[in-house]
Amino acid sequence: MTIRRKGALAVLAAALTLAVAACGGAAQSDTGGGESGPITIGAWIPLTGAQAASGVPQMEGAKAYFSWLNDNGGINGRQVNWIVKDNAYDPQQTVQAARALVGQDEVVAIVNANGVAPSEAAFPFVLEQSKVPIVDHYGGVATWYDPPRPLLYGTQTLYEDQAAAMAQWAVESGARKLVVVHDDPKAFADVAAQIGPAAARADASATTTAVPVKLGTTDFAPAVSQVKALGGDAVMLILPAPEAAAYLKAAQLQGVTLPAYGYAPLASSTVVTLAGAAAENFRAVALVRAPTDPAPEMARFREVMAKYAPGQPADYSTLLGYANAAVFAEVAKTIQGPVTAESIAEAYRNATAVETGVAPTMSFSADRHVGTRDVQRVTVQGGQWTAVGDFVSAPDRG
């Protein structure tokens, strides 16, 4: 997710700050769900600020899907009106966006929103006070779903499970000494902490050593020197994409050739673009299929992006938004009768074996509010992400 032209981003963000409707011609004044007319749903996504680099492509991917969906019959013949408001990845702005979406736009669900900490700030108003479901959130943590919260349903393998899946892959590949390079804030440290136990469960002789770095680090030469001195078998990166790219470049300069693994945020075009040749053979676990996958559903994704969002690449950032929109459509199609907050929540609670062809199979229940624990193993080959096998399930975290 890099944005190629800052000017284009500014224009796009200004146009979208109030609302974005992917409605294929449906009037934005028709709100709610009910029995007829457009189905109005909403989201808060960072369209400005530091996180806009991933937020804007995510929004474009979902908007492209909903536009394609509306041009092909919508949901049981009804158009989808998806309204997006900019939250700038800020909790206060997220609460304001939530109040506008629920109170003014009368959305029947929040779909494909973005921002773990910002979204948590809006949970009391949306989930508890307004009783509006939040589904298919971009990202999520275990505390959201254990125990399950009423009206909150996720479609992405949790960060903790991503870390466990990384560890399992490394151990399966022969590594026994894992060095974990992670940013020092608690959110990163908590994810990194899952790697050691998962590695030990995969092989009792596996060990891990942590190398914490400050958030925003640009010079990774000292961290690479530490990794080199520790003499590990593999490096596990729990870092933002620009920092992971900086690590890979520093490792190449110091001749450190240990296999490097990343969690899902690092399965991105940003890492490949910024790291260049140093990204070759980098491994990561992804939440969706590789954007270059030849499957028919993936070919349609690329075609939809080319038609409805020609300015956005068909990459992981756009695919994640597209996939979440597709899951919502498939679940909503099972609703017989009025489309309301209550019927959407019930549809998710009863949804099993939801297939989109671009993401893992999703299954929910009253006790399981995250649709999948699967990841796609991918590696950089020839400057692009390539799938390694099919989806695999993350190991139990104990």
Cα dihedral angle (328, 331, 333, 338), rounded to 10 degrees?
Answer: -90
Whether 6-157+293-367 shares its CATH topology with 159-286+376-393 is answered yes
One-character DSSP codes across 294-348: -SHHHHHHHHHHHHH-TTS-SSHHHHHHHHHHHHHHHHHTT--S-B-HHHHHHHH
> If residue 152 lies in a helix (H) or strand (E), which one and from where to where?
strand 152-153
Domain range summary for the chain, segments of one domain joined by +: 6-157+293-367, 159-286+376-393
Sheet of strand 283-286: strand arrangement: 207-213, 177-183, 234-238, 260-262, 283-286, 374-381, 384-393
CA 240 to chain centre: 13
Determine the pLDDT at residue 34: 66
pLDDT exceeds 60 at position 136: yes
Determine the pLDDT at residue 18: 39
Predicted TM-score of the model (pTM): 0.86
pLDDT tens for residues 159-206? 999 999 999 999 999 999 999 999 999 989 999 999 999 999 999 999
Lowest mean pLDDT segment, chosen from 30-44, 55-69, 138-152: 30-44
Spatial contact of 176 and 194, defined as CB atoms under 8 Å apart: no
φ, ψ of residue 328 in degrees (nearest 5): -60, -45
Between 7 and 108, residue with greater pLDDT: 108
- The architecture that CATH gives domain 159-286+376-393 is 3-Layer(aba) Sandwich (3.40)
pLDDT exceeds 70 at position 1: no
pLDDT tens for residues 304-328? 999 999 989 999 989 999 999 999 9
Residue 293 CA to residue 84 CA, distance in Å, equals: 29
β-pairing verdict for 384-393 and 177-183: unpaired
- The architecture that CATH gives domain 6-157+293-367 is 3-Layer(aba) Sandwich (3.40)
Residue 305 CA to residue 287 CA, distance in Å, equals: 19
Can you give the length of the chain in residues?
398
One-character DSSP codes across 60-119: HHHHHHHHHHHHTTTBTTB-EEEEEEE-TT-HHHHHHHHHIIIIIS--S-EES-B-HHHH
Mean pLDDT for the chain overall:
91
